[in-house]
Amino acid sequence: MGIHGEGCNCGQSQVTKNSCSVEKARVFGMASTETTFPKTIKVPVTLAETAVVVCVEADVHLEKPALEIIRVLKSVILEQCELVPTFSPHSANLFVTGFIRKNIEYTTIDQVTGTAVCGDVRHTTALVPFDFCTELTFPAAGPTLQLAPDFESHGEYLNKSGHAAKINVGLFGNRKVYNERPYCELLFTEFTELDIGLENKRCKDTTKTFSTVREKIVLRIGLKVLQDQQVPIPTTPPPKPTFPPPCKSICPPKKKW
């Protein structure tokens, strides 16, 4: 029994010894720092302006059967706009995701007589999603996307025999560059659409209602792609000093007596 107890205690101490921790951490002073003073200003730089046409189709179900649509208000809200570099240094793909916010105002039927139709005016606010990807090509002369790559290296040492590398010793290095993330802004939106009422029901001989609206939307959206960059500050040379004219040109001639 004593032997088994000793083995159990040994196992517990081994687990404690191999637990995750940091030991013998030392700091060997500070090295000299390198400071630069660039004559630049950090401002948003426009990389590109583009207009994309997107075709969207969706069915919007109304809360109550509608007699007719009075008005439709639309706006665009972007959820994601990301610029992803491609294999060419002067091109990138723009991934855009968002939705069209539509407010549909329509009339309903509560009472139908031989000469009139009575009802309420209701509204339905629908969120119609859309997404697309378009390619942007930057000119060689002009603002371009600035993304500095990271750097990683790995080196090995020879063992004493000189025939292989040391397994327990390695030389590693890396350099991380923190780039400015490109972003987008909305410039304009244009809509053309066709609304079709579905699930028609006849209330009277000349009166029909519908409960679903099929939306066929053509959206033209304008986007501006920007990135915060370091731009040189323009400097003007100092003005040249001016001196008074020589005395001969302004002093009167001396009189002879």
Q: Is 183 helix (H, G, I), strand (E, B) or coil?
A: strand
At 9 the pLDDT is: 53
Angle at 32 (CA atoms; ends 31, 33), nearest 5 degrees: 115
- Ramachandran assignment for 89, one of left (phi > 0), alpha (psi -120 to 50 degrees), beta (any other): alpha
Could you write out the DSSP letters of every residue in 193-206? EEEEEES-EEEETT
Please spell the DSSP secondary structure of 68-119, one letter per residue. Answer: EEEEEEEEEEEEEEEEEE-SSTTEEEEEEEEEEEEEEEEEE-SEE-SS-EE-
| pLDDT tens-digit map of 40-73 | 999 999 999 999 999 999 999 988 888 889 999 9
Pairwise CA distance, residues 70 & 227, whole Å = 42
Beta strands at 40-85 and 91-108: parallel, antiparallel or unpaired: antiparallel
Task: Looking at mean pLDDT, say which of 71-85, 140-154, 164-178, 233-247 comes out highest.
Answer: 71-85
Report d(CA 230, CA 39) in Å as an integer: 9
Quick: pLDDT tens for 12-35.
Answer: 545 456 688 888 888 887 777 788
Angle at 253 between CA 252 and CA 257, to 5 degrees: 125
Over the range 221-250, which residues count as b (16 or more CB within 10 Å of their CB) and which as e?
A: bebebbbebeeeeeeeeeeeeeeeeeeeee
pTM of the full structure: 0.71
Q: Which of 61-91 are b and which e, b meaning 16 or more Cβ less than 10 Å from the residue's Cβ?
A: ebeebbbeeeebebebeeeebebeeeeeeee
pLDDT of residue 206: 61
The Cα 34–Cα 28 span in angstroms is 18
pLDDT per position as a tens digit, 202-252 = 666 567 888 889 999 999 999 999 999 998 888 877 788 887 776 665 566
Kindly tell me if the per-residue pLDDT of 88 is higher than 70: yes
